Amino acid sequence: MRFVHTADWQLGMTRRVLGARPPKEAAGGLTGEAQARFAQARLDAVSALGRLADERGADFVLVCGDVFESNLVGPDVVARACEALGSFRTPVLLLPGNHDPADAACVFRRPDFVRRCPPYVTVLDTPGVHEVAPGVEVVAAPWRSKHPLTDLVGEQLAALGPASPGTLRVLAGHGELDVLDPDDDEPARIRRDGVLAALADGRVHYVALGDRHSAWTDDADDRIRHAGTPEVTDFDEVDPGHVLVVDLDDRAAQVVIETVGRWRFLRHDARLDTDEDLEALDAWLAAHPEKERTAVRLALVGTVSLRQRSRLDDLLAAHDHAFAAVEVLAQHSELATVPDDADLDDLDLHGFAADAASELFAAASPGGAADDEARDALRLLHRLVGTPR
């Protein structure tokens, strides 16, 4: 039996780093233009995994939670999700997760979803065993609220008897195993011992999990897996953008990782003290392909002159227009701007303007008043009237 294991589509997700941006003339002057492309990319990933399921001859697609970013997504998100699902030729099983639990506001029960949802899509909002094909059962452990007080997977495993001869069982759950965060006392954490016991005695043959956005395989039994998110959602994810194609029998699972995501969220640490350091950062940013689908967060440390700081501001602004986002993390950066004599010469000011600039330099230079406002004023002055040497 072959199926596609996926999770955490989170359709309707927004990212602050993509939305709160100045207008870009090249993009038609629309703030948040990158956010719209990111939202479309999540739908494109869904369509891609649908084509993959069809090409691989999968019996079904199993989505282990967080299909939507929340139960409060707008009707436009629901409509576009159903359009994407409408392109599938393979049956699809949707499990409610912590973002879209099967509570009173459940998006899967809204009229706009029910009306548009293709008939081959099944919502696993009822816990327990579901026969999805002859000889194939899915044991569903849906979230029924955002804050369950028990191990939902453990509850379903405890209620299971042995599978019938010739029947394959897949457990569909959402949440992290206790071994992934052993210091967390979250009551809904999945207890791995119970999962391993159920695999060992044949109550289930594969444990498909969602919630962890990075693909993960349990060292103790490779039939316990997180699929990860099919499209990147944050900067701390390890190799996102994949789905799992699973070939299963009652003894083993053969799993192939397939890539469907196209976006990248990158972190980069850079030390800036010299012109060469600035050139290296410029080259690192320039070297990335598909910048329109790449968001970058920078942590910068070091000491630069006003001239170098102006150059840094200019190069970041230039790259920002090409990338989906370029953001400097202030809380992780320690970049000092220290004026030098060359900075004052570059300004080439006279009269009162020269006197004012000299006073600002004295306040902002080492041993001076170290006034942040003075440094900011000098940076602005240098950008307005300074010339590269």
321-354 per-position pLDDT tens digit: 999 999 999 889 999 887 765 555 565 555 666 6
Kindly state the tokens that stand for 366. 């080492």
Domains located in the chain, CATH noted:
2-259 (3.60.21.10), 264-385 (no CATH)
Q: Is there a contact between 256 and 245 (Cβ–Cβ < 8 Å)?
A: yes
Q: Is there a contact between 160 and 203 (Cβ–Cβ < 8 Å)?
A: yes
Question: How far is Cα 219 from Cα 199, in angstroms, rounded to an integer?
Answer: 14
**pLDDT in single tens digits along all 389 residues of the chain:** 999 999 999 999 988 777 544 444 333 333 468 899 999 999 999 999 999 999 999 999 999 999 999 999 999 999 999 999 999 999 999 999 999 999 999 999 999 999 999 999 999 999 999 999 999 999 999 999 999 999 999 999 999 999 999 999 999 999 999 999 877 788 899 999 999 999 999 999 999 999 999 999 999 999 999 999 999 999 999 889 999 999 999 999 999 999 999 999 999 999 999 999 999 999 999 999 999 999 999 999 999 888 888 899 999 999 999 999 999 998 899 998 877 655 555 655 556 666 666 666 666 655 544 566 666 666 666 655 655 44
Q: What residue ranges in the chain does DSSP mark as E strands?
A: 2-6, 60-64, 92-95, 121-123, 128-133, 136-140, 168-174, 206-210, 216-217, 224-226, 242-248, 253-259, 264-272, 294-304, 325-328, 334-337
Kindly state the tokens that stand for 136. 């194939």
Question: How far is Cα 315 from Cα 320, in angstroms, rounded to an integer?
Answer: 8
Three-state helix/strand/coil letters over 292-356:
HHEEEEEEEEEEECHHHHHHHHHHHHHHHHHCCEEEECHHHCEEEECCCHHHHHHHCCCHHHHHH
Kindly state the tokens that stand for 127. 């816990």
Q: What one-character-per-residue DSSP string does 191-218 give?
A: PHHHHHHHHHTTS-SEEEEES-SS-EE-
Question: How far is Cα 106 from Cα 72, in angstroms, rounded to an integer?
Answer: 9
Question: How far is Cα 28 from Cα 45, in angstroms, rounded to an integer?
Answer: 25
**CA 125, 129, 131, 136 torsion: positive or negative?**
positive
Between strands 136-140 and 128-133, the pairing is: antiparallel
For residue 9, give the nearest of 59, 60, 75, 82 by alpha carbon. Answer: 82
Instruction: Please give the C-alpha separations between residue 239 and each of 264, 287, 311, in angstroms, as whole numbers.
Output: 9, 20, 33
Question: How far is Cα 319 from Cα 172, in angstroms, rounded to an integer?
Answer: 43
